[in-house]
A = this chain, B = another copy of it.
């Protein structure tokens, strides 16, 4: 049977969080496959038995962590959106958004990249990611629609996908490569590229 504990008491909730935080750090540093459950429990300061009373198995832990992480990721990007002039976006607004994405990728490029790679061999992970991707592309697409009158793009969905990918992955790579890169320059280049694309873009012949 071995039902998983659904924590209600404050103590329980804290314990569960401690485990997830410990796993997060270890996964980032030693790799998901290079970290075992004992290690996670130990780092969280709980027994291995506790670990398994909060998570059915290691996979479940990973899925919960991923949902959690992607939510934080999403919020880090889109929470500051109120500061943007939604239906009259300028270069500064685009730059602001890009900076949010860079900040979001600062949470943990390691965890991001590793879980992303698991999409190929793990349908459950893939599903979580696909849901997230859709959510983000939709967000961008609706921004584009709000500014449609000023734009010349013919296919807002393709544009949203391209922009989403470009920004996310430049940010990801930048964060990974680390302080060597001139982040400011990258953000500027990206902002230019996207702004020109959206506002000055010629209609595809």
In the complex, A197 has a CB within 8 A of chain B? yes
* Smallest CB gap from A161: residue in B: B186
* Smallest CB gap from A31: residue in B: B121
In the complex, A72 has a CB within 8 A of chain B? no
Q: How far is the CB of A134 from chain B (nearest CB, A)?
A: 10
One complex includes copies of this chain to the number of 4
Residues of B within 8 A of A158 (CB): 182, 185-186, 188-189
Known: A117-B118, A165-B170, A200-B200; 5 extra A-B contacts, CB below 8 A, are A155-B185, A159-B189, A162-B170, A188-B204, A193-B197
Residues of A in contact with B (beta carbons under 8 Å apart): 1-3, 28-31, 33-34, 36, 38-39, 42, 109-110, 113-114, 116-122, 153, 155, 157-159, 161-162, 165-166, 168-170, 173, 176, 181-182, 185-186, 188-190, 192-194, 196-197, 200-202, 204
Question: Which of A188, A190, A197: most chain B CB closer than 10 A?
Answer: A197
